[in-house]
């Protein structure tokens, strides 16, 4: 057995050497195809792929026709296209999907970890958090392939050193009022038992704030501060008024106490004050008239607001640093000894002495990454579109390297010497000297494109009821129209796809009309989410089963859910995409509507069947979706 190990290790080293990334390559998009350039802007792999990832560990996952494989830095397939979908390699493994089922493979294409895991997040080189297809999480040993922590948790937070906060799924079938929360180390040992605390906030600097509700009284209880071994450093009574607010940063936390006023039979609470405490629970600083509302400590510094709502810089002893006052602060405070601030002249960057290393001459400074800062400038409305913001960058000596001309840029900053950005709506790569080394070319043709994707489309069938008289706001939306088109089915609710006409889907893709018609004598009602009907397109898969290739996203907001109506002899019109994929199959629309005899139930109507092309991943893959604020309540 010892000899076998000696033979295996060199083999793995050879495999990793073969696919090691010898020089950085950058993904480009040209005429809707994916290719790769080097850091001088020279095309190394021509744009011939329909989709692809960045290079990682010498390989990139790319889609040729409908399937994914892996190419090396010459563009040669080392793992042929055989996967519905594939993610980049990380630490020698990659997640690939076949028929919607995930597998973890190594660089030879062999399955490296058994079990149906849909996600893997590395803790270190030997351990990872795995997620099952039923969204349960555990921890696996990457060498033995054995679970260190069983896949029973709803969440396992990012590890802080050797520990992570875990939470069990909430069950209404038990008497527990709160999900069981605890702390686990990577060996599976429970550092803090499940249920000891009702809430454990994220660890910062090895310290976490916990809360336990009083029995039968959610508003009252106790806060406790613990270390990474679960030891209680101190605890304090807590209620909905006085409590430890936020987390500890560099050993300093704060307690919020409202101002309480008793009048006759009423108690009123007004804006309170903060007391700042150390890890022994001792008060080391209090809000005052000249100095209050501290920001979290970072790099031994904090900002405090004064009576003029300006900010001053304080050290760990709460003594003032410098005499400068600031009218605003960038997000995050100090990082790597620098902080973004604003004064009467504009935005600049200071060090921990309060000295400006980048003068306050900028309309806004967005971020500091590496040795560069990125700033923005709103363009004159007479020259360009109103309120258009462009970005430029400079170095930390205060020199402007590129004046504002980027529409957007990669928020991670420079990677392997190049910055990915957009200029005049074109994908662009810029070097650290501010020179454009590559830019996407103008399209040679301006016709409609087919929609060739490897994910499920989000719902887009928006419909409105006929508005009340005088309600002009809704008349510009998709409201019911009287039926004038001949040949629609009589005396029924019908969904009809018209393949004889070409139309435009989402302003750039080829599409075709779809019409919902009600030729019955009754008004038909539909459940909807923010006016999205419960309608999706379906296709026949390789096994001859009808499956959705679109989905209606879920909203957490109760106000999203309502009903719309379609009167007799009326209909709604829509445009659907003319999907183009590797597999030619049949496609139809599926629409749910409310059963008039039992309004708690839904009935279904299908459209006519048409020919279409789909890719395997369209049957299951939901693209990552990130809500852009509380006004967007959708989570997928």
Q: What is the mean pLDDT of each run of 10 residues along the chain (636 residues)?
A: 34 42 88 95 97 96 96 97 94 88 89 77 86 89 88 90 88 60 90 92 93 77 93 88 89 84 61 87 84 88 88 93 93 91 96 96 93 91 67 96 96 95 96 97 78 95 86 74 86 95 92 96 95 97 96 88 95 96 96 94 96 96 71 71
Strand partners, 213: 221
Q: What are phi and psi of 13, to 5 degrees?
A: -65, -40
Domain shared by 366 and 508, yes or no: no
Query: Would you give the DSSP letter of residue 286?
Result: E
How many whole angstroms separate alpha carbon 402 and alpha carbon 386?
Answer: 22
| Burial of 237 (C-beta count, 10 Å sphere; 0-12/13-18/19+) | exposed
User: Which pLDDT score is estimated for 248?
Assistant: 94
Provide the terminal-to-terminal Cα distance of the chain, rounded to the nearest Å. Answer: 49
How many whole angstroms separate alpha carbon 93 and alpha carbon 79?
Answer: 13
Does residue 567 fall inside a structural domain? yes
Q: Which two tokens stand for residue 245?
A: 């607010």
Domain shared by 598 and 470, yes or no: yes
pTM of the model: 0.84
User: Which pLDDT score is estimated for 178?
Assistant: 67
User: Which pLDDT score is estimated for 531?
Assistant: 93
Domain shared by 301 and 368, yes or no: yes
- Domain's final residue, options 98, 118, 149: 98
Domain shared by 414 and 478, yes or no: no
Order the strands of the 328-329 sheet from edge to edge: 328-329, 338-343, 346-351, 356-362
Q: What are phi and psi of 554, to 5 degrees?
A: -95, 140
User: Which pLDDT score is estimated for 83?
Assistant: 95
Domain shared by 525 and 468, yes or no: yes
83: three-class secondary structure by DSSP: strand
Per the CB < 8 A criterion, the answer to whether 550 and 537 are in contact is yes
Does residue 26 fall inside a structural domain? yes
Non-local CB neighbours of 397 within 8 Å, separated by 6+ positions = 357
Non-local CB neighbours of 215 within 8 Å, separated by 6+ positions = none
Q: What are phi and psi of 550, to 5 degrees?
A: -135, 165
Q: What are phi and psi of 3, to 5 degrees?
A: -65, -40
Does residue 535 fall inside a structural domain? yes
57: three-class secondary structure by DSSP: coil
Domain shared by 310 and 412, yes or no: yes
Domain shared by 432 and 462, yes or no: no
Q: 413 to each of 57, 227, 339, 410, 423, how far by Cα in Å?
A: 20, 34, 17, 6, 16
- Domain's final residue, options 98, 113, 148: 98
Strand partners, 102: 97
398: three-class secondary structure by DSSP: coil
Q: What are phi and psi of 473, to 5 degrees?
A: -60, -35
The sign of the CA dihedral 183, 189, 192, 193 is positive
Domain shared by 523 and 420, yes or no: no
User: Which pLDDT score is estimated for 629?
Assistant: 58
Per the CB < 8 A criterion, the answer to whether 359 and 344 are in contact is no
Domain that residue 566 falls in: 457-619
Q: How many CB atoms lie within 10 A of CB 247?
A: 17
Does residue 348 fall inside a structural domain? yes
Angle at CA of residue 216, ends 212 and 220, nearest 5°: 45
Q: What is the phi-psi region of residue 621: left when phi exceeds 0, alpha when psi lies from -120 to 50, beta otherwise? A: beta
Which H, E and C letters describe 119-146, residue by residue? EEEECCCCEEEEEECCCCEEEEECCCCC
Does residue 427 fall inside a structural domain? yes
Domain shared by 429 and 307, yes or no: yes
Q: Which two tokens stand for residue 337?
A: 């000894």
Structural domain tally of the chain? 3
Does residue 417 fall inside a structural domain? yes
Does residue 635 fall inside a structural domain? no
Q: Which two tokens stand for residue 72?
A: 């090396």
Domain shared by 59 and 87, yes or no: yes
Query: Would you give the DSSP letter of residue 449?
Result: B
Q: 388 to each of 170, 377, 383, 422, 439, how far by Cα in Å?
A: 46, 9, 10, 13, 21
Query: Would you give the DSSP letter of residue 513?
Result: E
User: Which pLDDT score is estimated for 502?
Assistant: 92
User: Which pLDDT score is estimated for 273?
Assistant: 83
Q: How many CB atoms lie within 10 A of CB 32?
A: 12
| Burial of 207 (C-beta count, 10 Å sphere; 0-12/13-18/19+) | buried
Which of 349, 249, 247 minimizes the C-alpha distance to 298?
A: 249
User: Which pLDDT score is estimated for 481?
Assistant: 93
Per the CB < 8 A criterion, the answer to whether 502 and 512 are in contact is yes
Per the CB < 8 A criterion, the answer to whether 636 and 456 are in contact is no
Does residue 515 fall inside a structural domain? yes
Domain shared by 595 and 484, yes or no: yes
The CATH number linked to 542 is 2.60.40
Per the CB < 8 A criterion, the answer to whether 180 and 166 are in contact is no
Non-local CB neighbours of 612 within 8 Å, separated by 6+ positions = 539, 578, 579, 581, 584, 585, 586, 587
Domain shared by 415 and 540, yes or no: no
Q: 603 to each of 51, 142, 529, how far by Cα in Å?
A: 38, 48, 17
- Domain's final residue, options 65, 98, 131: 98
């Amino acid at each position: 057995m010892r000899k076998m190990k000696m033979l295996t290790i060199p083999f793995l080293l050879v495999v990793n050497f073969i696919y090691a990334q010898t020089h950085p390559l950058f993904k480009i998009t040209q005429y809707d195809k994916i290719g790769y350039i080097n850091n001088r802007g020279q095309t190394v792999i021509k744009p011939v792929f329909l989709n692809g990832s960045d290079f990682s560990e010498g390989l990139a996952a790319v889609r040729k026709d409908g399937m994914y494989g892996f190419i090396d830095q010459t563009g040669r397939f080392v793992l042929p296209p055989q996967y519905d979908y594939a993610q980049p390699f990380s630490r020698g493994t990659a997640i690939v999907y076949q028929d919607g089922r995930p597998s973890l493979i190594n660089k030879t294409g062999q399955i490296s970890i058994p079990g149906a895991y849909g996600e893997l997040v590395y803790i270190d080189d030997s351990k990872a958090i795995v997620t099952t297809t039923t969204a349960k999480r555990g921890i696996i040993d990457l060498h033995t392939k054995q679970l260190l922590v069983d896949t029973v948790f709803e969440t396992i937070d990012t590890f802080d050193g050797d520990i992570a906060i875990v939470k069990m799924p909430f069950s209404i079938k038990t008497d527990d009022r709160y999900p069981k929360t605890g702390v686990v180390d990577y060996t599976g040992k429970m550092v803090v038992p499940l249920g000891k605390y009702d809430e454990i906030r994220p660890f910062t600097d090895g310290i976490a704030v916990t809360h336990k509700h009083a029995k039968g009284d959610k508003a009252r209880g106790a806060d406790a501060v613990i270390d990474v071994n679960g030891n209680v450093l101190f605890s304090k009574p807590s209620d909905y008024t006085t409590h430890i607010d936020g987390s500890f940063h560099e050993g300093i936390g704060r307690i919020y106490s409202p101002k309480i006023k008793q009048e006759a039979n009423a108690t009123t609470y007004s804006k309170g004050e903060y007391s700042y405490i150390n890890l022994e629970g001792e008060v080391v600083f209090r809000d005052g008239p000249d100095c209050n509302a501290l920001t979290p400590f970072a790099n031994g510094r904090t900002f405090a607001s004064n009576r003029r709502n300006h900010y001053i810089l304080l050290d760990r002893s709460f003594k003032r640093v410098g005499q400068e006052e600031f009218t605003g602060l960038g997000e995050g405070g100090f990082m790597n000894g620098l902080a973004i601030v604003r004064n009467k002249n504009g935005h600049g960057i200071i060090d921990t002495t309060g000295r400006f290393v980048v003068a306050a001459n900028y309309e806004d400074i967005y971020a500091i990454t590496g040795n560069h800062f990125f700033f923005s400038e709103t363009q004159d409305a007479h020259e360009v579109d109103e309120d258009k913001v462009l970005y430029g960058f400079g170095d930390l000596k205060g020199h402007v390297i590129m004046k504002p001309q980027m529409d957007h840029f990669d928020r991670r900053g420079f990677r392997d010497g190049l910055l990915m950005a957009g200029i005049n709506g074109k994908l662009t790569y810029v070097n650290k000297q501010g020179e454009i080394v590559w830019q996407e070319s103008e399209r040679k043709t301006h016709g409609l494109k087919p929609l060739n994707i490897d994910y499920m489309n989000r719902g887009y069938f928006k419909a409105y009821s006929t508005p009340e008289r005088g309600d002009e706001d809704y008349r510009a939306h998709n409201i019911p129209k009287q039926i004038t088109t001949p040949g629609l089915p009589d005396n029924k609710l019908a969904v009809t796809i018209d393949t004889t006409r070409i139309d435009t889907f989402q302003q750039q893709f080829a599409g075709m009309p779809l019409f919902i018609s009600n030729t019955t004598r009754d008004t038909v009602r539909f459940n909807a989410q923010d006016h999205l009907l419960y309608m999706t397109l379906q296709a026949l898969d390789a096994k001859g089963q009808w499956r959705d290739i679109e989905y209606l996203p879920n909203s957490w907001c109760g106000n999203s859910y309502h009903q719309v109506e379609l009167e007799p002899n009326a209909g709604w019109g829509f445009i659907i995409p003319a999907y183009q994929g590797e597999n030619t199959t049949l496609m139809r629309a599926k629409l749910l509507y409310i059963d008039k005899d039992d309004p708690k139930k839904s009935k279904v109507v299908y459209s006519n069947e048409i020919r279409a092309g789909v890719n395997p991943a369209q049957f299951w893959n939901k693209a990552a979706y990130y809500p852009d604020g509380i006004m967007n309540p959708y989570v997928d």
